[in-house]
Structure 1
Amino acid sequence: MNAFIEQFRKRRRNFVKDLGGKVLWKLERIMINHSKVSTDPFLDPYQFEWATFLEQNWRIIRAELDRILEYKERIPRFQDISEDQQSISKDDDWRTFFLYGFGYKAKINCSKCPETTRLIESIPDMTTAFFSILNPGKHIPEHRGVFKGFLRYHLGLKVPRQAENCRIRVDGETAHWKEGKGMLFDDTYQHEVWNDTNETRVVLLLDIKRPLRFPANVLNTMLINLIKHTGYVQDAKKNQEAWERKFETAIERTDPARKEAAKDYEKTIM
């Protein structure tokens, strides 16, 4: 009976997701017509003041990332958090350390990266933030985001020396990451990623609300709030919280000092 209920829930969620995706795609023309910024595949990140601010502080973020990467094998795979990612990643080579997801704060993870958290929380309309970690040889096949109400930003934190072999293609345009530099693009275009090197690539990935004129900006906020409460996001939230607790336990066992530091940070956000 439990297996039947679980199967029913999964089918219902997939139906809602597919239906919701079709509705969101129908609304893309509204987002395009009311966008205050370019609707090209790649955009200029420096039209936003926070992009320069992040670049100026990238070494602070990198230092916190390096401490997290000491426990790299304990960081969850993307599909462990969001089961829907299994369609584009089934191996162990794409790992994600979430700080925010659709506006939900990953408090335990944030306690491990207090300076990074402070920086990203200063960004207007930031909804999602995580370290996106690609192992050597990882390939993410062509896919597209479901909603044009966001813009996606990557801050290069750990980029292989053979940068030309670590690349992203968005709607036929190819770009390479650089450490300490940002990249802004529209992920509703078909895009694909390769790390054809023997080194790990890590970026700080952010989703921010696309700047829109009225009334599309109001519609966008309403849609994001609806998506936030779907099973797609709520299941990922539960998975993330479970993985956070596992990760915290792993760190506490190996480094008691970090446990005390995390407690001090948590007191500041209570």
Structure 2
Amino acid sequence: MLDPALFDWAPEISRHWSDIREEALAIYRDVEAIPPLRRISPDHRRIASDDRWRSFFLLGYGHEVPANIARARRTYELVKRIPKLNSAFFSILAPGAHIVRHRGVTKGFFTAHLGLVVPEDSENCTIQVNDQDLHWKAGEWTMFDDTCEHEVWNNTDQPRIILLCQVGRPLRWPASWVATAFMLYIKHSPFVREARHELRSWDDAFRVAEDNERV
């Protein structure tokens, strides 16, 4: 686990968590038009076997998603203050969701979760990092090394919504150079190009859902 107090930007953003939550809930109204992560990211198909893990991307591997940013302007204004921000998205776990045990591919960044909507039965909504069980709290950060093995369960009857950020880790040279080169490769890789294409197609579905709300 990482201590959020080590990062200047963490308390500033968490102070405005209710603003972020408000935007996330407005987006959640059209949850069926939010893409399941396994549909847009080939790398996640091995750890998410169904559509109960959905992700609304504002930034993915350094690529902005302008249409989504327009729907969550305050959130993006806040997360852009994070140095070395790699990805930022609303991560939604439906009731009964399970993300199997896995680990990230590089120590170049760490993962930060800001709790937005947490089930009342929070003890049954769990992320296990190595052998430590953690539970999200609204308005608070949960941070960890993405290369540690982790697994997630939502064994409740309510959704869990967080703001998930992948953040570049402070590293010394030459490790910093290696991490930068690796992330640059990922940013321009075929799998990221495919994900961006899928996101554009899902935006059409989200626009239709928004139009239906206005009818």
Structure 2-normalised TM-score? 0.96
Q: CA deviation at 1:254?
A: 2.6
1:12-91 equivalence runs, <5 A: 42-91=1-50
Q: Which amino acid aligns with 2:132?
A: E
CA distance in 1, matches of 2:43, 2:80: 27
1:54-79: CA deviation from partner (whole Å, max 9, x where unpaired): 11000000010110011011111111
- Aligned with residue 230 of structure 1, among 180, 189, 192: 189
CA distance in 1, matches of 2:42, 2:15: 35
1:31 is aligned to none
1:135-163: CA deviation from partner (whole Å, max 9, x where unpaired): 11111111111111110000000000111
Which contiguous aligned blocks of 4+ residues in structure 1 show a shift greater than 6 angstroms? none
Q: CA deviation at 1:174?
A: 1.1
- Aligned with residue 145 of structure 2, among 163, 179, 186: 186
Identity %: 43
C-alpha contact 1:157 1:180 (8 A) present in aligned 2: yes
C-alpha contact 2:38 2:51 (8 A) present in aligned 1: no
- Aligned with residue 120 of structure 1, among 79, 82, 90: 79
1:30 is aligned to none
- Aligned with residue 62 of structure 2, among 82, 85, 103: 103
Q: Which structure 1 segments of 5+ residues have no match?
A: 1-41, 257-270
CA distance in 1, matches of 2:85, 2:2: 17
Q: Secondary structure at the match of 2:12?
A: helix
Q: Which moved more, 1:95-104 or 1:137-146?
A: 137-146
C-alpha contact 1:108 1:248 (8 A) present in aligned 2: no
The answer to whether the aligner puts 1:156 opposite 2:130 as a matched pair is no
Larger Rg: 1
1:221 is aligned to 180
C-alpha contact 2:14 2:114 (8 A) present in aligned 1: yes
Q: Secondary structure at the match of 1:108?
A: helix
Q: Secondary structure at the match of 2:48?
A: coil
Q: Which structure 2 segments of 5+ residues have no match?
A: none
Q: Which amino acid aligns with 1:238?
A: H
Q: CA deviation at 1:189?
A: 1.2
1:96-125: CA deviation from partner (whole Å, max 9, x where unpaired): 101000000010001001100101111111
1:20-67: CA deviation from partner (whole Å, max 9, x where unpaired): xxxxxxxxxxxxxxxxxxxxxx11121001110111000000010110
Of Structure 1 and Structure 2, the greater helix share is in 1
C-alpha contact 2:33 2:202 (8 A) present in aligned 1: no
